[in-house]
Amino acid sequence: MTPSSARHKTTRRRRNDPEGLRARILDQAAKLFQKRGYHSTSMHDLVQATNTSAGALHHHFPTKKAIALAVLAERIGPLVKETWIDPIQQAAALDQGVAHVFNEIVLGIKKRRSVLGCPLNNLALELTLTDRDLRQGIEGIFSEWRSVLAERIGRTTGGAGVGERERVAAANFVISVYSGAMNMAKATQSPGPLADAAALLTQWLREHHFAE
């Protein structure tokens, strides 16, 4: 095999990598949705960002909505699991887990020197009133997040003494505090609201005996 034929075969293998292209589309779509928003990102933008053809893009995802649903299921859902769910489940104490999550997010903001917001919150604010399927995809992620928090709260001293409804309400409160603080951090381009929320939220968890 000559060097030129080897290069030709390598190039052909790269081009015939449907899974790689699909992953690249989702990666770029997640970034553009986060930076520009769903409605301000066009299919042409995604063609340019992925350096592919419109035909190849449409082969994997016939519509932008299909891309958004896949981004929610395959990028944002796993990100919430990695960022929030896993640390909460693995923490020795719930307040420590929550403090760790906030601290990691604040450190990431300081490193990037910008606040793009929570990908899930951004899409929730933009899409929940415009499309039923996308709303359900977003709520599915919130539901898992809420369920894990409620279950973790149930393993604390205070959580064991209240009913399921109270545990779910507490989980919703934790998520709401984070979501609101992140939106304020995005508006001010400062991690300060997140740091403040972390301090008050961990104090609240301890006062309600949801820490142990």
pLDDT single digits (tens) 149-181: 999 999 999 999 999 999 999 999 999 999 999
| Helix 164-188 / helix 94-112 crossing angle, nearest 10 deg | 20
**Alpha carbon distance 70, 64 (integer Å):** 10
Number of helices (H), then strands (E), belonging to the chain: the values are 13, 0
Q: Are 116 and 35 in contact (CB under 8 A)?
A: yes
Supply angle C-alpha 125, 164, 96, rounded to 5: 70
Q: Are 101 and 84 in contact (CB under 8 A)?
A: yes
**Alpha carbon distance 71, 79 (integer Å):** 11
Supply the pLDDT for residue 17: 83
Does position 11 have pLDDT exceeding 50, yes or no? no
Q: Please compute the mean of the pLDDT values over residues 138-143 and round it to a whole number.
A: 98
**Alpha carbon distance 211, 93 (integer Å):** 6
Supply the pLDDT for residue 134: 97
Q: Which of 136, 170, 158 is nearest to 207 (CA)?
A: 158
Indicate whether this model's pTM tops 0.75: yes
Does position 3 have pLDDT exceeding 90, yes or no? no
* 98-113 pLDDT per residue, tens: 999 999 999 999 999 9
State the pLDDT confidence band at 12, using cuts at 50, 70 and 90: very low
State the pLDDT confidence band at 1, using cuts at 50, 70 and 90: low
8-state DSSP, 85: I
Does position 24 have pLDDT exceeding 70, yes or no? yes
**Alpha carbon distance 138, 132 (integer Å):** 10
From 12-21, 164-173, 175-184, 200-209, the region with the lowest mean pLDDT: 12-21
Does position 189 have pLDDT exceeding 90, yes or no? yes
Max CA separation in the chain (angstroms): 74
Tokens of 123: 């899409």
Q: Domains in the chain, please, with CATH?
A: 1-62 (1.10.10.60), 65-212 (1.10.357.10)
Burial of 192 (0-12, 13-18, 19+ CB in 10 A): middle
Say what the alpha-carbon torsion angle 146, 104, 122, 18 is, to the nearest 10 degrees. -90
Supply the pLDDT for residue 37: 95
